Structure 1
Amino acid sequence: MDSKRNARWRIPAALLSSAVLFYFGTGLAPVAALTWLAPFPVLLLATRAGGWTTAGTAFGAFLLGTANMWAYQAHSGDEPLWPFGTVIDVGMSLVFTFTVWLFWALVRRRRTLLASLAAPAAWTSLVYLITVLNPMGMMGSLANDQGDAPLVLQTASWAGMWGVEFLVLLPACAVAAMCAPGAARLRTGVVAGIIVALSLGGGALRLSGSVDGPPVRMAAITQNAGYHWGPELGTEEGRALVHDYIREIEAMPDGVQLVVLPEAAFSAEEEWPAALIEPMRSAAKARGTAIVIGFEYYDRPGKHNYAYALAFPADGAPPARYLKHHDLVSPPGHDLVFVPGAKVPTGVVICGDTTFASPSRDYAAAGSRVLAIPAELAVPPGSNDEGGWQHTRNALLRGVESGQSIALSDANGSLMLSDGYGRVLGEARTGGPAPFTAVTADVPAGPSATFHTRFGDWFAWLSLAITAAGLAFTRLRAVKRPASADGIVGTKTTTGS
């Protein structure tokens, strides 16, 4: 009787344990170590419980874990709780449910090693497919949650974010699989241990042996106005803001080579607004610094908005113009744009472009060593301290993938300067009583093209192949073992291990 009672407690215990760990290990301010632990209670339950019980517990645990996002989604412009936030939370809970179900199905057939590999591969594969199919890409994944763990993030330099997704899940899956009845413990532990040791060891080697490129003194500046789509340059407010930004640029420390302002810092109904271009050309030449500014062009006759970034060279020459590649409002751009005349090759992207591997990867292949990123988080004024960490670490992840340093200015989140190895060298949250927030740092240029740059999403395809193999082995016939002492039925396969 006591054994049966203890068995019934395993379900709520697993559900609540994983939910709490997901709550604190993911989201807007995650504790990276807890991300690795979060799946384990549910996976351990899967080694003893039935399929429906396991699936229901996995779904409930992950969905409760997403409660760390509900308040943010309630007022987010990019990810409102209804319907998009709900679809995301439920959808990712189903992804985790499938991951755990595949683990359960293979463990009950005593395919211990395959279970430990196929489960993280299944998660990685589905996240990859979501990123490919979703017009907004992916932000807030398990890889994103490791944003303050450079050692872990180095895996992205050769396997992309997909390698980090897999790595974070692998230890929990392997340890849980080794706890299953009839598990091939030695083989599973050795293979999983080698993968983790090589990944983290290689990361440590990459960090310790990194050769810093030429230093670039960078700055990011934003107006503390909360969420806004920049004032029109035809208005007095817009013209005054141009001169306010110029005063901030003039007050920067000596030697700054690159200044980044936020996405849509200004707007206009002119495609090349003189009220912005001429003063900024003069400011760039006077300070000898390149300036990158987000600018929204309202094409009223054509009924389109265009999300541009203008890159002003340090010699005062006319700016280069970049059109955002991934945008649900603006027609998408396709060209790579470098800051003209920069001593260190510097590419330009905008905000949501970093939720995809490209164009960041394309810039690295073309020789870029720094990415300038104007950005804007769509949340109301007073909420600018919520999504800034997640937003900047998503860009930082792209920098590690493609070997590029990052200079990001977010009008409603955080400013961040990081090197090509994922180390944050300058950071500040926006908001506060001052009219502007700024951050400056000397940042080594990134190493540029990585293994991931050259070979792309190869690890995602490998994960798809491992997932397919796992699904194929679930077709093997499994028969029930006699009920164990705690009342939970075990299984075995007719084909052995």
Structure 2
Amino acid sequence: MNSPIRRLAVVLAATALSATLFHLGTGLTPVPWLTWLAPLPVLTLAHHVGARAAFLAASAAWLGGETAMWGYFLDTLELPPPMVASMIVGSALLFGLVVLSSRALMLRGRPLAAVAVVPAAWVAVEYAVSVLSPNGAWWSLAYTQADVLPVLQTASVTGPWGITFLVLVVPAAAAVLLAPLPAAPRAAGRLRAAVTTAIILSLAVGYGAWRLRAPYGEGAEKVASEKVALLAADHPGWVPVASPEGRAILGRYTARIPDLAKRGARVVVMPEKAFIADDATLPVLAAPLARLAAVHHVDIIAGLILKRSGGLRNAAVDFPADGSRPVEYVKHHLIPGLESDFHPGNREAFVPGSGSRWGIAICFDLDLPGLVRDYRRSGATTLFVPAWDFDRDRWLHGRMAVTRGVETGLTVARAARNGDLVVSDAYGRIRAEAHSADAPIASVLTALPTRSADTPYTRFGDWFAWACALLLLLAPASLARVQPGRRRGAAGPRRAPAADATAPDHAVARPTA
């Protein structure tokens, strides 16, 4: 086998390996430790081959890893094919450019910058998507680590962006260490990059371990005085509450509430859009739930579609334990396309009489960090969240809500049909969990912590994402910096006219002193 064929085989192997690792380490059910490994093959390859081969390999690896998401976007979310193509293909091309940037910095003798540009650029991309897209911060590598609690605690300082940074800085540093000597600067430069990365990772994991040992973890169990119950029955579509089917489903819920109240439930949360009602049929739902709430001294939060004034509203109505007037919350953030006919809300809502300020939100609201931060700044310590998932995305969507809780120091109690019922504390620990399809009507009951955890992210917001954007802006300065021993205005390294596309640039580049 001649040299060009061997190089091509290496490029294809690295691309296939990264694509496989991305496929397993990202998506709807990721394997978290594989996420850290996924970029390594193509990042390492980039320091051994030409720019075109590096770009194509990295882009193809990302594209291959995201193949499983095509069906989810097209069939489950029913997004337009052009939008899906632009998201997946566009992100693949961006990843290729990020890898090229790291390669270029390494060739210029800037190993630390070559490491930093990979996570900084991707954080900037994720943050830009979260700001510019109506889908918010749903697209992030951070959620792959939602079950790795020491890493997840980073979100309390940086938001999800810090976790993405960690996941990418490690393989970027490993790739720089594995770069061939002719293209690499002195060993001291690579050592600085490795030590800096090790310090960042140690500080993050050490902080996470320290935070998980905080008194809140043990003390919360001892001082918890009230409980939350989550209920969910799977059924398709929106059921008119006054129809025979609607009355039957409502009866299944109301039959379970007295027992949960006897077992200590202070709040019962039902799923999103369990029913649809207008002003004429709303009493069919409101009367029995209000009566149960008053008799058993339990707040009951029901998710339903309210048809009023010729429009639809995705609402959660709390029927208070003290028999007072119901509290209505209307979903702020609507799913593009699927909820285009709905009117959004613009007000926060709290459970009346909750000394610890219990807030109410709905499903997709928790895909956007800003709303949750607003609740925390308003004094909320817990969010009750009616939800409706698509089953296949139940783990990911539920863990996004868990991440919001860690970011802001909130307990999150999320009741989803076609999904999971999850209660998580301010540190991302799962206090109770069940799958809605495991029983005709699934339920969980657990104690609510009475303490919250103040976080820097609540106070300072997306400062880390902006810092990464600033770091990214400084990268061109590193590229333009004149290398020692090379006179100003001198031409850069040139490739021989007949060089193969997979041949490394460093084969003809001058090593840095």
Report the TM-score when normalising by structure 1.
Answer: 0.91
Matched residue type, 2:206? G
Alpha-carbon separation, structure 2, partners of 1:455 and 1:272: 45
Is residue 2:181 matched to residue 1:179? no
Q: Which aligned runs of 4 or more in structure 1 are off by greater than 6 angstroms?
A: 481-484, 491-495
Q: 1:11 to 1:362 in 2, by over 3 A?
A: same
Instruction: Judge conservation of contact 1:110–1:492 (CA < 8 Å) in 2.
Output: no
Matched residue type, 2:282? P
Match of 1:234 among 231, 238, 242: 242
Instruction: Judge conservation of contact 2:119–2:168 (CA < 8 Å) in 1.
Output: yes
Instruction: Judge conservation of contact 1:353–1:359 (CA < 8 Å) in 2.
Output: yes
Alpha-carbon separation, structure 1, partners of 2:259 and 2:96: 53
Cα deviation for residue 426 of structure 1 reads: 1.3
Matched residue type, 1:458? W
Q: What does residue 493 of structure 2 align with?
A: 479
Instruction: Judge conservation of contact 2:154–2:163 (CA < 8 Å) in 1.
Output: yes
Q: What does residue 488 of structure 2 align with?
A: none
Q: 1:189 to 1:79 in 2, by over 3 A?
A: farther
Is residue 2:38 matched to residue 1:30? no
**How many pairs align?**
484
Matched residue type, 2:381? R
Q: What does residue 298 of structure 2 align with?
A: 289
Q: What does residue 249 of structure 1 align with?
A: 257
Match of 2:384 among 363, 368, 372: 372
Instruction: Judge conservation of contact 2:135–2:367 (CA < 8 Å) in 1.
Output: yes
Q: What does residue 12 of structure 1 align with?
A: 12
Q: What does residue 322 of structure 1 align with?
A: 329
Q: What does residue 93 of structure 2 align with?
A: 94
Cα deviation for residue 35 of structure 1 reads: 0.5
Residue deviations 1:276-328, cap 9 Å, x none?
222211111222222222121123x53x2111111222222222111111114
Q: What does residue 197 of structure 2 align with?
A: 192
Residue deviations 1:386-426, cap 9 Å, x none?
11101100100100001011111111111111111011121
Instruction: Judge conservation of contact 1:70–1:81 (CA < 8 Å) in 2.
Output: no
Cα deviation for residue 178 of structure 1 reads: 2.2
- Residue 303 of structure 2 aligns to a residue in which SS? strand
Cα deviation for residue 475 of structure 1 reads: 4.1
Q: What does residue 346 of structure 1 align with?
A: 358
Report the TM-score when normalising by structure 2.
Answer: 0.88
Is residue 2:59 matched to residue 1:49? no
Match of 1:201 among 197, 206, 214: 206
- Residue 358 of structure 1 aligns to a residue in which SS? helix
Q: What does residue 156 of structure 2 align with?
A: 157
Q: 1:491 to 1:373 in 2, by over 3 A?
A: farther
Alpha-carbon separation, structure 2, partners of 1:53 and 1:464: 27
Q: 1:336 to 1:487 in 2, by over 3 A?
A: closer
**Equivalent runs, 1:40-79 vs 2, <5 Å:** 40-76=40-76, 78-79=77-78
Q: Identity of counterpart residues, as a percentage?
A: 36
Residue deviations 1:172-192, cap 9 Å, x none?
011112222324211101111
Q: What does residue 462 of structure 1 align with?
A: 467
Matched residue type, 1:399? G
Q: By percentage of residues, which structure has more helix? A: 2
Q: 1:493 to 1:294 in 2, by over 3 A?
A: farther
Instruction: Judge conservation of contact 2:140–2:160 (CA < 8 Å) in 1.
Output: no
Q: 1:50 to 1:348 in 2, by over 3 A?
A: same
Residue deviations 1:53-72, cap 9 Å, x none?
11111111111111232343
Instruction: Judge conservation of contact 1:150–1:422 (CA < 8 Å) in 2.
Output: yes
Residue deviations 1:244-297, cap 9 Å, x none?
211121232611122111111111122992222222111112222222221211
Cα deviation for residue 480 of structure 1 reads: 4.4
Q: 1:261 to 1:193 in 2, by over 3 A?
A: same
Instruction: Judge conservation of contact 1:109–1:493 (CA < 8 Å) in 2.
Output: no
Alpha-carbon separation, structure 2, partners of 1:314 and 1:413: 27
Cα deviation for residue 235 of structure 1 reads: 2.4
- Residue 30 of structure 1 aligns to a residue in which SS? coil
In terms of Rg, which structure is larger?
A: 2
**Equivalent runs, 1:427-438 vs 2, <5 Å:** 427-432=433-438, 434-438=439-443
Alpha-carbon separation, structure 2, partners of 1:85 and 1:319: 41
Alpha-carbon separation, structure 2, partners of 1:406 and 1:9: 49
Match of 1:298 among 307, 325, 348: 307
